[in-house]
Structure 1
């Protein structure tokens, strides 16, 4: 990544307490309800939300096909912080390059995602930082997908509380 490229950074204010928001990021059943862009679904071959735990997921997109991802949870500091890696893979869990997975050659081989959570009264500010250029994330739709997924999650959380 060129030094002048700004990495992806999004902050979102959820209308729910920090514990509820953090749980939505770490409970596999809750993740299945919101962690996919509009019109898509996500399934997990496996997910182990703990430090050193791994996941293998697939986002089913009716327009662009399946997108398989593998990753590792590097840090879980409840309810303040999550850090995990993600790499494009195939259904067997073998890492694939961006072009094979239908992404541009600019897409990183591995992305480090850091999500921090801060309590603001009865709301929670979540900040996501990913080691992908913001420009590339916007070009591929990843940036827009995060905003839509956060909106979906916020609606679900406010309906539950």
Structure 2
């Protein structure tokens, strides 16, 4: 995983086997229960989890409104690695600028997300890398949102273990 020193890089330990954690990232039924910041929900208009497959989703935020995202799965190596793009879009799936999507001009219109899953005993170490500056992610709240989403995912995994 090639990273820029300013990119967002987070590691987190989940109390579940790697296969379960990987499935939570690739099963639309699981994603809808955890893959949104606190106080928000997510709806997938389209999701096709395969190499070259696309997704189109909207985060429903009661404060900031809808945030539409499209993306494509670039690499899927179950249960070890997941790589996908995320691009700001409108409801029709047409790419939009960061400012059109209500983000700052410093937020990139498209990013690549790489997720590595490593088995550590009975737990899974997850490493998340995104091609967005960590400083920008902290400023927008995206950085902090990952931790709340990971807490929600860990709780769901404990139920399904």
Q: Does the pair score TM above 0.5?
A: yes
Instruction: Give, in angstroms, the shift of residue 46 of structure 1.
Output: 0.4
Task: Give the Cα separation in 2 of the matches to 1:39 and 1:136.
Answer: 21
What residue in structure 2 maps to residue 117 of structure 1? 117
Q: How far apart, CA to CA, are the structure 2 residues paired with 1:121 and 1:24?
A: 19
Q: TM-score, normalized by length of structure 1?
A: 0.96
Superposed CA deviations along residues 74-124 of structure 1, whole A, max 9, x for unmatched, are 000000000000100000001000001000000112100000000001100
- Structure 1 residue runs of 5 or longer lacking an equivalent are none
Partner of 1:60: 60
SS in 2 for 1:24: helix
- Consecutive aligned runs of 4 or more in structure 1 exceeding 2 Å deviation: none
Q: How many equivalent pairs are there? A: 158
Q: Distance in 2 between matches of 1:5 and 1:112?
A: 15
Superposition deviation, residue 27 in structure 1: 0.3
Partner residue in 1 for 2:35 = 35
Alpha-carbon separation, structure 2, partners of 1:7 and 1:33: 27
Corresponding residue of 1:18: 18
Q: 1: CA distance between counterparts of 2:120 and 2:13?
A: 9
